[in-house]
């Protein structure tokens, strides 16, 4: 007869020990895996049966298939040679907290469905707010990703601009406008689409030579929209853009927002953690005047994916925008407690605060600052190697831990450089030792090295540079027409 009920306690204990041992070995030697998977499209699907098993299988067999089929198809974000995008770091305390959260399976939609999860979220975000220098006026909410945090922030801006949004939607509204720099993350435009504002309401402001938003162009765009009868609603300033980590001038942008009564959202998804460092505070000047701010601990605060924080000065607006309570979710303590379902689109809420709390306690503020400072030192060191090599060229400043550069020997014509760098990137990534990503800056293909993985040390950065130099020499020897 088919067994019912869960895995028994002894089997669970045995398998859990095996898995913890596996993870501990994996984290001790992530380099034994290729950082970028060499899987081809369809490889993993083809290796798996088309339908689920009719009868249950021993965990042993399932785990063997995990090792044989799944692991080779992974790109290893825990690898110290992961320099692409912004690495997410699954730190030890973060993994342990996630394990506990999975075991507890808490769903914190209401205070009573888990008082500790609700209150720990408040307390931990209060700690984080103080660490990055925000005043007590800010409340906070944890979501999964920055894209969702920004969606919620812009939904608040829409509520303020269109007070009848809940009853009549956008009807009768004339051209809502949201302003953000050319280099802002695509999640801003996605939010604009989802909120019914439409891409006609998306206003990209040009950037200056340092790739920061031009404030006079912002002011001009707002004035033009006002004279045309459109409705400016919000400005998104980015502190640490995705391509180069450039920082928009938040304080002057806050002045513009105050003058025109606009919602200011600061996207500090990657760089926000650096506000914990006194030497970086200048970059975040004015952030304390924002209406909302997003910071992703899963980007540069050693938190396993996923955890994004939205700090909001107008929690009443967030509540007004997202609270909708059916009878079956009413509780007697409701007016006195916070119910997390009231500040977001989701009803169900994972216990994400546990990992941030354990990480802040385990490393301490000084431990986190030391790790962030080390990543910035490593990025500057890499940038110094780029600067000193006449075959390479740096393409942006390095305010934090990302370096944008390319191979650009004087003898190679400009029009051949994109193809050359593409080839170089492919060769370096094919090594399986490092993984870098790319971007385009002023039409030029730029390679991008981001140091934010907690296991990355100077030797890994040096290895990346040696590999780049070696592969560049090979690419250049195979084709290098003279620059005219």
Q: Which stretch binds ligand PLP (CB under 6 A): 140-148, 218-226, 249-257, 386-394?
A: 140-148
Residue 379 binding ligand PLP, by CB under 6 A: no
Alpha helices in 132-249 (DSSP H): 146-161, 165-168, 186-194, 215-227
Interface with ligand PLP (CB under 6 A), residue from 78, 88, 173, 242: 242
Q: Of 91, 113, 114, 147, which one interacts with ligand PLP (CB under 6 A)?
A: 147
DSSP at 88: -
Q: Is 451 in the site for ligand PLP (CB under 6 A)?
A: no
d(CA 406, CA 391): 9
What are 434's two structure tokens?
């490092």
Instruction: Give dist(CA 248, CA 214) in Å, integer.
Output: 8
**Judged by CB under 6 A, which of 86, 180, 322, 363 binds ligand PLP?**
86
Residues 116 and 354: their CA atoms lie apart, in Å, by 10
Decide: is 185 part of the binding site for ligand PLP (CB under 6 A).
Answer: yes
Cβ 477 to ligand PLP shortest distance, Å: 35
Q: Does 244 contact ligand PLP by CB under 6 A?
A: no
Smallest distance from the beta carbon of 306 to ligand PLP, in angstroms? 7
Look up tokens 């909120």; give the residue: 195
In the list 84, 157, 269, 358, the residue contacting ligand PLP (rule: CB under 6 A) is 269
- Does 145 bind ligand PLP (CB under 6 A)? Our answer is yes
Q: Pick the piece of the chain touching ligand PLP (CB under 6 A) from 144-152, 207-215, 376-384, 457-465.
A: 144-152
The reply on whether position 83 binds ligand PLP by CB under 6 A is no
Q: Is 243 in the site for ligand PLP (CB under 6 A)?
A: no
- Is residue 439 part of the contact set for ligand PLP (CB under 6 A)? no
* Binds ligand PLP by CB under 6 A, chosen from 118, 161, 181, 187: 187
> Long-range CB contacts (< 8 A, 24+ apart) of 403-407?
403/379, 403/448, 403/449, 403/450, 404/243, 404/244, 404/439, 404/441, 404/446, 404/447, 404/448, 405/446, 405/447, 405/449, 406/444, 406/445, 406/446, 406/447, 407/447, 407/468, 407/472, 407/475, 407/476
The residue behind tokens 């931990």 is: 124
Where helices occur in 162-294 by DSSP H, the ranges are 165-168, 186-194, 215-227, 250-260
Stretch that binds ligand PLP, among 204-212, 236-244, 369-377, 404-412 (CB under 6 A): 236-244
CA distances from 95 to 47, 108, 357 (A): 29, 20, 12
Q: Does 382 bind ligand PLP (CB under 6 A)?
A: no
CA–CA separation, 187 and 165 (whole Å): 22
CB of 335 to ligand PLP, least distance (A): 33
Q: For residues 286-305, which are near ligand PLP according to CB under 6 A?
A: 296
Nearest to 454 by CA among 308, 275, 297, 310: 297
* CA-to-CA separations, 31 to 26, 75, 278, 431, 462, in angstroms, rounded: 9, 12, 34, 12, 15
CB of 296 to ligand PLP, least distance (A): 5
Among 122-130, 141-149, 163-171, 281-289, the segment contacting ligand PLP (CB under 6 A): 141-149
Q: Which stretch binds ligand PLP (CB under 6 A): 40-48, 266-274, 281-289, 341-349?
A: 266-274
Binding window for ligand PLP (CB under 6 A); candidates: 33-41, 142-150, 171-179, 309-317: 142-150
Residues that bind ligand PLP (CB under 6 A): 86, 145-147, 185, 187, 238, 241-242, 267, 269-270, 296, 308
């Amino acid at each position: 007869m088919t067994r019912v009920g869960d895995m028994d306690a002894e089997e669970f204990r045995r398998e859990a020990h095996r898995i913890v041992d596996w993870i501990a070995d994996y984290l001790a030697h992530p380099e034994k895996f290729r950082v970028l998977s060499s899987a081809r499209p369809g490889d993993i699907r083809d290796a798996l049966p088309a339908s689920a098993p009719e009868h249950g299988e021993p965990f042993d067999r399932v785990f063997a298939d995990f090792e044989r089929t799944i692991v080779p198809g992974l790109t290893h974000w825990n690898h110290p040679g992961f320099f692409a995008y912004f690495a997410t770091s699954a730190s030890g305390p973060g993994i342990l907290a996630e394990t506990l959260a999975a075991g507890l399976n808490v769903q914190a939609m209401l205070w009573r469905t888990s008082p500790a999860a609700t209150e720990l979220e408040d307390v931990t975000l209060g700690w984080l707010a103080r660490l990055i220098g925000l005043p007590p006026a800010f409340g906070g909410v944890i979501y999964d990703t920055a894209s969702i945090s920004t969606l919620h922030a812009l939904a608040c801006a829409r509520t303020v601009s269109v007070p009848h949004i809940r009853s009549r939607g956008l009807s009768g509204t004339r051209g809502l406008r949201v302003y953000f720099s050319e280099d802002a993350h695509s999640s801003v435009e996605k939010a604009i689409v989802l909120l019914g504002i439409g891409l006609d309401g998306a206003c990209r402001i040009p950037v200056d030579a340092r790739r920061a938003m031009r404030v006079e162009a912002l002011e001009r765009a707002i004035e033009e929209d006002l004279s045309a009868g459109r409705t400016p609603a919000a400005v998104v300033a980015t502190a640490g853009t995705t391509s180069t980590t450039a920082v928009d001038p938040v304080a002057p942008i806050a002045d513009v927002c105050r003058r025109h009564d606009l919602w200011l959202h600061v996207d500090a998804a990657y760089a926000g953690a650096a506000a914990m460092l006194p030497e970086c505070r200048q970059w975040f000047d004015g952030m304390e005047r924002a209406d909302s701010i997003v910071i992703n601990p899963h980007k540069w605060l050693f938190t396993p994916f996923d955890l994004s924080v939205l700090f909001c000065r107008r929690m009443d607006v967030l509540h007004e925008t997202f609270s909708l309570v059916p009878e079956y979710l009413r509780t007697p303590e409701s007016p006195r407690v916070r119910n997390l379902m009231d500040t977001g689109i989701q009803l169900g809420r994972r216990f994400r605060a546990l990992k941030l709390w354990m990480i802040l306690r385990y490393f301490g503020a000084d431990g986190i600052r030391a790790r962030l400072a080390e990543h910035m030192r490593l990025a500057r060191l890499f940038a110094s190697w780029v600067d000193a090599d006449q075959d390479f060229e740096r393409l942006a400043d390095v305010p934090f831990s990302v370096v944008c550069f390319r191979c650009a020997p004087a003898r190679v014509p400009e029009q051949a450089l994109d193809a050359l760098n593409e080839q170089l990137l492919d060769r370096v990534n094919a090594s399986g030792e490092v993984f870098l990503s790319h971007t385009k800056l002023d039409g030029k293909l730029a390679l991008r090295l981001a140091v934010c993985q907690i296991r990355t040390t100077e030797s890994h950065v040096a290895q990346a540079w040696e590999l780049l130099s070696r592969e560049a020499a090979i690419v250049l020897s195979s084709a290098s027409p003279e620059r005219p």
